[in-house]
Amino acid sequence: MSNTFVVDTSKSKYVRLKPVSISSVKLTDSFWANRIKLMGEVTLPLQYQIMEETGRMDNFRIAAGKIPGEFSGFFFNDTDVYKWIEAVSYFLAINKDEKLDKLVDSVIEEIRDAQDTDGYLDTYFTFSRKQDRWTNLKDMHELYCAGHLFQAAIAHYRVTGKTNFLDIAIRFADHITEVFGPGKREGVPGHPQIEMALVELYRETNDRKYLDLAKFFVDERGKGIIGGGTYHIDHKPFRELDEIVGHAVRSLYLNSGATDLYMEIGDKTLWSALERLWDNLVTKKMYITGTAGARHEGESFGDPYELPNETAYAETCAAIANFMWNYRMLLTSGEGRFADVMELALYNGVLSGISIDGKEYFYVNPLADRGGHRRQRWFACACCPPNVARTITSIPGYMYSISPEGIWVNLYASNVSEFDINGSKVAIEEKTDYPWEGLVEFKVDADSSFSIFLRKPEWSREFSLNVNGERFEPALEKGYMVINRRWQKGDTVTLDLHMRPEFLESHPGVKDNVGRVAIRRGPVVYCVEAEDNPGVDVWDLEIPKDTKISKEYRDTLGGIVAIKGEGYINEPGLWEKLYLPLDEANRLKEGIEFTAIPYYAWANRTPGPMEVWIKTK
């Protein structure tokens, strides 16, 4: 229970930051603590129920010969079970729940019984399909399924100390290392994921063969083994990549694995490629919500600045993958720009993927809609629901990092946490109403010298900082404010990030957004939705750039800060014709008051039009 890390860089050589255990951070805020509680009370039990209803659990029983039948669903359905176990494991790291703990053990028993004698485990490739194992890596996701199994098993072991799932993972991993590698079978996964899982398995077991196999899969990519196309990011070697392309989730998972690999071997050509890809993503291909993937075709990135709103794919899993990758980049570098993207994706592209009540999900996350796009209870391809669950339950593990210099505050939320800094025990109590307010207060219990690094978010143009009630001017180090001193029990730090609503414009190359603005307050991106603007088609709304906008607390939608302001709509009957002369089209418009809500909260009420990017003049 002491080392419940999501990504364990505690022994990695080429990193700036080390992780903090999930179990060391007790969230006390209403925003994240309530969402994690909802995971345990509603989301995770309901997901298990649906996995039973949809045959995902029966697939393991059929493979084990316990019940008759044929495999049902997509060939990668095993991964939904694995991600669910990972989500429950992180939940158990900070919440005692005997019922969920026993349920997980029963699921692991079903998985164990389905494992072949040689260690292979994939319920699709049993009985008559056994002869097809490892014959179609491009399409059939065997290595992808294995990677999710490994990650879930590691999480379960770190949280519970039980080896029942880790033993299964090691047997399967050993089988894979016997099949693939230099001088053995050639191949790379069509859907990257196993790369980061193998590195994490190496970190947990200290068995070098897993790291070597992760390196093999990264090195072999780009040789055309799986077709040489951009969809699979197989068109050129990873170290030569300069543009982020292909299937968005696959690409971002591959980048995550390559970052994990770099943290262990320090190959600077890997880091150079990762820097190029990151810059290309955030300056040309990332949505304002922190997610990615412009095209439904191939679930893929588009051309530079191709970021349509109504037809955006913006898969929930892509936002999660972006969060995962940027966390690894942050651990490697200690640079706040990566935590900025984590925060952006988390509060917008990730959270939009699940309903306020924790029961329904988005697969696709458009930034404009006429009211027809609604969350679903489940999907035939259900990668997103358990992915959202494992991300939310692991949130405490991302809040802080540590280094020999001290404690790094990456994300802000009320919590009580404990740290070991160079052998000295440190406790911190943090209080804040983030993300609704930028005031953050820390109470430190320590008797040693170290630095506290407070991230200065990209959105914060002004801030003030006090230590023990006195103004403090910190040094700024790559996006972090540095406070170095000898800390004593009762020391306080007060940070005010001066949060205010603001309009954002996009690069003129983003054609859908020309002549439009979006509203952001702190890390939260806003949208206008029909429910809050009765009698108005929000697609007709126009906001002057100099209009005054203000905040308003609301108890609806789980508790939010809404944004209110003055705007205009067309005079009734103005556009009865398809075309009008310019002077008539610019006729005086009718003034109205509009209300905007956080983007993550849309589509939780009566269906109706929604828009993030609003017309302006």
**Does an H or E element contain 89, and which?**
helix 78-92
Examine the residue annotation and report whether 383 is marked as an active-site residue of this protein. yes
Query: Using only C-alpha atoms, what is the Rg of the chain?
Result: 25
Is the separation of the CB atoms in 263 and 331 below 8 Å? yes
Q: How many Å apart are CA 59 and CA 62, to the nearest integer?
A: 5
Catalytic residue among 110, 204, 220, 383: 383
Q: How many Å apart are CA 24 and CA 93, to the nearest integer?
A: 9
Catalytic residue among 195, 299, 315, 430: 299
Is the separation of the CB atoms in 400 and 408 below 8 Å? yes
Q: Which residue from 434, 430, 428, 433 is spatially nearest to 407, judged by alpha carbons?
A: 428
Classify 403 as helix, strand or coil: strand
Q: Which residue from 298, 215, 212, 303 is spatially nearest to 250, judged by alpha carbons?
A: 298
Mark out the alpha helices in 281-415 (DSSP H runs): 316-333, 336-344, 384-393
Strand 18-19 to strand 400-403: parallel, antiparallel, or no bridges (unpaired)?
antiparallel
Strand 406-409 to strand 448-455: parallel, antiparallel, or no bridges (unpaired)?
parallel
Q: Which residue from 213, 92, 101, 243 is spatially nearest to 147, judged by alpha carbons?
A: 213
Examine the residue annotation and report whether 299 is marked as an active-site residue of this protein. yes
Is the separation of the CB atoms in 479 and 460 below 8 Å? no
Within a 10 A sphere around the Cβ of 295, how many other Cβ atoms?
Answer: 17
Show which residues are catalytic: 299, 383
